[in-house]
């Protein structure tokens, strides 16, 4: 059970200020008749015993935050600590602000910690430690870790942490100077294993091009943009939001946890976990879903980036594609049909906007045949509306060898409305487009 009330009694005896904690009953020997210093020392001894107990074989996860500055927002950081009764501590991490060429690499550093008796119990890392001291160092975070510039502010992190509550598996703290929250959680695996599991989980829901998500409790919808950075915009709408705040988080082997709780409708959320199907994350009643439709729409608007081949296509479409590929090779032994895109064709150094573009390549050149038209995406629907009779001048070159009808046949089949389905809601590396009025026509758009 978290020991809120005893810490409260200790702090009330030291200061005349009224402090309010979320208390729960704490049953132990009553030290209240002793002096304030002795009472705090009892608590400190208990916390130190908890930190260094044999049951903490793997050490503790430290979900660490800094206060940030007016110019910089920061993600949360997963640090790891192995505490010893003699006052030594080995901290480790692979965070991006490690110095001496260790940024992003798993690094361990041993120093000292102590339990201070101030207005309440304080865990203090009072000697330099490469893992945590960089957050306190008054240097410009934009220049770290290589070109450090003294600006007297740094990231506004803390290495002296006031204990707010403690229990067998969780200790809640807050920075003494800058008040950013820090959470200690007993580890049930090694730090290296935790990092690997967290990296794998993050790749599932924040490792692709999709970085916008909707949050819904069934009655209200909010949005997240920029999750993969570890600090994100929380907005009422993705386009021109009226309400916006920035949230920081740490990633976990099951999802992510934010620096502070926040509200979606009437629901307060903080820790999101991947559901069993791995197509959304959940926090209580709130479901977080990837806005893959917006990501696909944005990508399809980039000229000549989405690529369609015969990979993953229906037999009908694959047959048309294969036939065109064969006749091009027969007519031009040096050319290879490399695929279909949406976007621009380049002819005589002039770019022209087209709906559908066929691309042929030799060892040194690229040739394009384009058809005028529009490609639009609305939600999970793709509409291809291309004029089969309005094509680029390169078409005539190929048509002289009677290849025009093979291009036309594919364009005629592609025109229409399609339902889009991603290979994964979180990491859409391709979408399968199936024609609404003719399901025998489907193809894969590689993003």
Per-residue model confidence (pLDDT) at position 3? 67
User: Are 40 and 150 found together in one domain?
Assistant: yes
183 and 66 in a common domain: yes
Return the pLDDT at 139.
87
Instruction: Tell me whether the omega of the peptide bond preceding residue 145 falls within 30 degrees of 0, making it cis.
Output: yes
What three-state secondary structure class fits 118?
coil
Q: Are residues 212 and 66 in the same domain?
A: no
pLDDT of residue 239: 94
Whether residue 201 sits in one domain with residue 168: no
The list of the chain residues with pLDDT below 50 reads 5-6, 8-10, 12-29
Statement to judge: residues 29 and 47 lie in one domain: yes
Q: Looking at the structure, do residues 363 and 430 belong to the same domain, yes or no? A: yes
Residue 284 belongs to a domain with what CATH number? 2.40.128
- For 355-376, the pLDDT digits (tens) are 899 999 999 999 999 999 889 8
- What is the reported pLDDT for 423? 92
Residue 7: the pLDDT is: 57
Burial label for 110, CB within 10 Å (0-12, 13-18, 19+), is middle
Q: Measured between alpha carbons, how far is 80 from 95 in angstroms, rounded to an integer? A: 11
Whether residues 13 and 131 fall in one domain: yes
Last residue of a domain, one of 259, 290, 321: 290
- Same domain flag for 241 and 310: no
Cis amide prior to 400 (ω within 30 degrees): no
The reply to whether the predicted model has a pTM over 0.85 is no
Specify whether 157 is located in the same domain as 216.
Answer: no
Give the pLDDT confidence score for residue 34 in this predicted structure: 61
Instruction: Pick the last residue of a domain from 126, 158, 188.
Output: 188
Range of the domain at 397: 298-446
Q: What are 135-179's pLDDT values in tens digits?
A: 999 888 777 776 777 777 789 999 999 999 999 999 999 999 999
So what's the pLDDT on residue 252? 98
Residues 6+ apart with CB under 8 A from 76: 63, 64, 65, 230, 248, 249, 250, 257, 259
Asked if 240 and 354 sit in the same domain, the reply is no
Last residue of a domain, one of 188, 204, 231: 188
Number of folded domains that form the chain: 3
Residues 151 and 66 in one domain: yes
Asked whether residue 309 falls in the same domain as residue 427, the answer is yes
């Amino acid at each position: 059970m978290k020991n809120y009330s005893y810490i409260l009694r200790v702090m009330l005896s030291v200061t005349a200020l009224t402090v309010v904690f979320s208390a729960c009953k704490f049953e132990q020997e009553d030290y209240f008749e002793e002096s304030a210093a002795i009472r705090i020392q009892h608590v400190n001894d208990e916390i130190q015993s908890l930190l260094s107990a044999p049951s903490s074989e793997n050490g503790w996860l430290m979900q660490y935050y800094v206060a940030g500055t007016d110019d910089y927002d920061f993600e949360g950081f997963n640090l790891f600590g192995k505490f010893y009764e003699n006052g030594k501590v080995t901290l480790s991490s692979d965070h991006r602000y490690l110095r001496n060429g260790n940024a992003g690499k798993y690094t361990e550093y041993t120093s000292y910690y102590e339990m201070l008796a101030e207005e309440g119990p304080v865990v203090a890392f009072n000697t330099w430690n490469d893992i945590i001291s960089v957050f306190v160092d008054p240097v410009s975070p934009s220049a770290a870790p290589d070109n450090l510039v003294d600006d007297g502010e740094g990231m506004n992190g803390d290495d002296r942490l006031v204990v707010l509550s403690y229990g067998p598996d969780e200790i809640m703290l807050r920075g003494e100077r800058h008040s950013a929250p820090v959470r200690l959680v007993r580890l049930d695996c090694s730090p290296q294993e935790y990092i690997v599991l967290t990296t794998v989980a993050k790749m599932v829901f924040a490792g692709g091009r999709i970085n916008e998500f909707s949050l819904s409790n069934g009655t209200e919808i909010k949005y997240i943009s920029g999750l993969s950075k570890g600090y994100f915009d929380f907005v009422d709408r993705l386009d021109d939001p009226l309400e916006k705040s920035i949230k920081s988080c740490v990633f976990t082997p099951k999802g992510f946890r934010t620096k502070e709780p926040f509200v979606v409708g009437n629901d307060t959320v903080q820790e999101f976990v991947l559901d069993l199907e791995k197509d959304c994350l959940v926090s209580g009643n709130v479901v977080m879903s990837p806005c893959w439709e917006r990501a696909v729409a944005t990508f399809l608007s980039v000229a000549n980036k989405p690529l369609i081949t015969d990979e993953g296509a229906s037999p009908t479409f694959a047959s048309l594609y294969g036939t065109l590929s064969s006749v091009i090779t027969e007519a031009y032994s040096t050319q290879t049909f490399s695929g279909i895109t949406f976007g621009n064709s380049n002819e005589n150094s002039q770019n022209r906007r087209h709906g559908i573009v066929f691309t042929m390549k030799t060892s040194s050149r690229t040739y394009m045949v384009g058809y005028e038209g529009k490609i639009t995406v609305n939600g999970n629907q793709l509409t291809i509306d291309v004029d089969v009779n309005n094509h680029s001048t390169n078409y005539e070159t190929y048509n002289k060898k009677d290849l025009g009808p093979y291009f036309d046949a594919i364009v005629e089949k592609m025109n229409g409305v399609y339902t889009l389905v991603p290979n994964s809601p979180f990491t859409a590396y391709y979408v399968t487009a199936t024609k609404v009025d003719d399901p025998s026509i489907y193809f894969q758009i590689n993003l």
